[in-house]
Amino acid sequence: MITSNNYIQVGNKAPDFCAIAVHEQEFKQVKLSDYLGKYLILLFYPLDFTFVCPTEITAFSDMYSEINSLNTEILGISVDSEYCHLAWMQIDRESGGVGDLRYPLVSDLSKQISLSYNVLNNEGKALRGLFIIDKEGIVQHLLVNNLDFGRSVDEVLRTLQAIQYVQDHPDEVCPANWEPGQSTIKNNTNDSKEYFQSI
């Protein structure tokens, strides 16, 4: 069994990595540190050529323009090789592939990235880990699902918007189910009553 001594936590620096990714049918090297100054969604998933995975990978690609408009990039990561990623992208969606994606898929064949983010299971696959990393390289959100059920892209987008809102408005916090344009709470005892008296 592969084990990790890392304890990744919201509020801590995201572990850096350097790996080969596939984007637009080409291999390229990516480093986490290259994304400083932008928000980044790390999307771990178990394996290419499976069943739930293509639904998530393509759903995030379909929402890429909206996510990217928020100064945010996406990296998909699995323990497959870059050649496997390329082959998967060369198969259309109707045949179980993912087709052309709007963001890179990273090869974690050594499993070191999955290990450093504490999402590697006992079978050597990455759990469905999702991390939102801010412009300073700090983990602001993490979510880990087991293998058999996918994540909600809409909820990831909402969470990203909430993170960006509170970082831009440090005297405010977002209540449960907050959506852009809705009321927030002033981050002090007296002024917070305005929100609670309005609901």
Residues tagged active-site? 53
In whole angstroms, how far apart are CA 182 and each of 93, 127, 159, 174?
37, 33, 14, 9
Phi first, then psi: give them for residue 193, nearest 5 degrees.
-60, -30
Task: Give the total residue count for the chain.
Answer: 199
Closest C-alpha among 99, 88, 93, 106 to residue 48 = 88
| Distance (Å, whole) CA 47 – CA 6 | 23
CA distance 196 to 199: 6
Query: How far apart are alpha carbons 65 and 190 in whole angstroms?
Result: 40
Contact at 8 Å (CB) between 67 and 43? Answer: no
Query: Rounded distance, CA 56 to CA 60, Å?
Result: 6
